[in-house]
Amino acid sequence: MRGLSGVSVGSTAQLSKTFTEEDVKVFARLTGDYNPIHLDHKFCSETHFSRPIVHGMLANGLVSAVFGTVLPGPGAVVVNQTINFTKPLYIGEEVCAQITVVNIRKRFIDCKYVCFTTDGKNIMDGTAKLWCRECEENLLDKMVADLPIGQKEYIGHIGNGEERTRDQCIQSLVRCVREFALKI
């Protein structure tokens, strides 16, 4: 089943990024999360991590970037997400967020994702449900496109006695369904 143009069950997309020490400092300033495990080399040297790690939610921002810019793309909103932090992501490691669409239903797209480093270390995985207004609208367009429109046979009368062709009736039906779909 297709949602947005080119998005279907099995569609995948990915983005990669290397988070720098400056990225981590900016994230700490923006969120107030000054946990020394992310910022203090001396503190980290005394832990099993040995060096600063990227905030998990900063790494999750890469997943959000895929959702909002690539798959499904602009206008998509995360309404539910599970996150499993499996390994630490160290500052300076390149990470790739890979998304796979597993289900499309009405205005919702279910995805699974995995974030891994270039050496194959899985640092995070999970699932997400995305709301996407355009998904339902594009599905309707596809359904209408599959109908044999163009035949000009007489269909019937509307309340005022006006005759309507098949094309006109289908277009009226499409407008009504769209208006109803946008309300739910």
What separation in angstroms does the CA of 141 have from each of 26, 33, 87, 136, 174?
43, 46, 43, 9, 8
- In the prediction, which pLDDT does 134 show? 64
Enumerate domains of the chain plus CATH numbers. Answer: 11-132 (3.10.129.10), 139-181 (no CATH)
pLDDT digits (tens, 9 = 90+) for 20-46: 999 999 999 999 999 999 999 999 999
Distance in angstroms (rounded) separating the CA atoms of residues 117 and 40? 23
Distance in angstroms (rounded) separating the CA atoms of residues 112 and 122? 14
- In the prediction, which pLDDT does 46 show? 94
pLDDT digits (tens, 9 = 90+) for 117-175: 999 999 999 999 998 866 544 444 554 555 555 444 444 444 455 555 656 666 666 66
Backbone angles phi, psi at 14, to 5 degrees: -155, 155
Q: Which residues pair with 154 in a beta bridge?
A: 165
Q: Say if residues 85 and 124 touch (Cβ distance below 8 Å).
A: yes
pLDDT digits (tens, 9 = 90+) for 67-105: 888 888 888 889 999 999 999 999 999 999 999 999 988
Q: What SS3 class is residue 45?
A: helix
Q: How many Cα atoms are found within 13 Å in the side-chain-facing hemisphere of 184? A: 10
What separation in angstroms does the CA of 135 have from each of 72, 77, 105, 106?
9, 12, 8, 7
- In the prediction, which pLDDT does 98 show? 95
Contacts (Cβ under 8 Å, ≥6 apart) of 8: 1, 2, 101, 104
Q: Which residues pair with 13 in a beta bridge?
A: 99
Looking at per-residue pLDDT, the higher value among 165 and 108 belongs to 108
pLDDT digits (tens, 9 = 90+) for 53-63: 999 999 999 99
Contacts (Cβ under 8 Å, ≥6 apart) of 103: 9, 109, 110
Q: Say if residues 127 and 60 touch (Cβ distance below 8 Å).
A: no
Q: What SS3 class is residue 116?
A: strand
- In the prediction, which pLDDT does 65 show? 92
